[in-house]
Amino acid sequence: MWLDVAGKRVFAATGGRDFDNTKPTVVFIHGNAGDHTVWALQTRWFAWHGYSVLAVDLPGNGRSEGPMPDSVEAFADWMPKLLDAAGVKQAALVGHSMGALIALETAARHPDRVSRISLLGFAYPMKVNPDLQALADSGAYTVVELMNDWMIAKRNQIGGNRVPGSYLLGGSIRLTDNAPRESLALGFRLCNAYANGKQAVAAVTCPAQIIAGERDIMTPLRAARGWAAEFSQGRIDVLPGCGHMMMGERPDETLDALRSFIAG
């Protein structure tokens, strides 16, 4: 589905069904160097069970036209424009990693547009290793390999994917490598620079969920546990044996947690 958002072409997948803005809407927001494809299973279930889905390619990522906003706050102010373009008054936001920061800040800045938020792979502050940032700034391919090695738990890198014949690590490397290097580097910078997380958590009044991977080394579980208790209506769901890319590592369990929170 193509949308005109502030004069730019933006792509959003709809889970295999035509978008209907009269239904409850769930917006899925990918992380740095991702796109709508990371939500394949989760979006399809919601689209076929009474919801309308927008799995957006953020500006400057996937099929969407740039430029990419240069701060989490700018992304948060862009989100209502996306909803307006789709004719949606209010939506549930599901964000992963950088997308989790965007979902959080959007709920804090635009509470009337957000019914609830689910934050996957969330931590605050979301600091980036300086060496990783330097590699991203240089455009080196090494950043793609390192990023994916850290994102996916070791035991999940070597097989056992729920879809026969699929190679989770290889697919994730291919997706990250296809992202523009300048968008990847900027994504790291804006995650590292985001400084409003504590205030945003305090400002959020809608129900909030954190979905955390037990073996996530990029946004560790210990950080997620503390923040879940700070929301006025917060909960946390922990996925055993899972790293940062829970949508691929534990797709069924991720969907179950989202169903329980959004549809339950």
Could you tell me the pTM of the whole model?
A: 0.97
Q: pLDDT digits over 104-140, tens only?
A: 999 999 999 999 999 999 999 999 999 999 999 999 9
Distance CA 151, CA 254 (A): 16
Looking up tokens 């090494």 gives 142
What distance lies between CA 176 and its chain's CA centroid?
14
Q: Is the pLDDT confidence value at 160 over 80?
A: no
Q: Average pLDDT over the chain, rounded to whole?
A: 96
Q: 191: buried, middle or exposed (CB in 10 Å: 19+, 13-18, 0-12)?
A: buried
Strands 91-96 and 114-120: parallel
CATH domain 2-125+195-263 topology: Rossmann fold (3.40.50)
Distance CA 136, CA 174 (A): 16
Looking up tokens 């938020």 gives 117
Q: What angle is formed at CA 49 by the lines to CA 10 and CA 5, rounded to 5 degrees?
A: 15
* N- to C-terminal Cα separation, the chain: 27
**Among 13-22, 55-64, 162-171, which stretch is predicted with the lowest mean pLDDT?**
162-171
Residue spans of the domains in the chain: they are 2-125+195-263
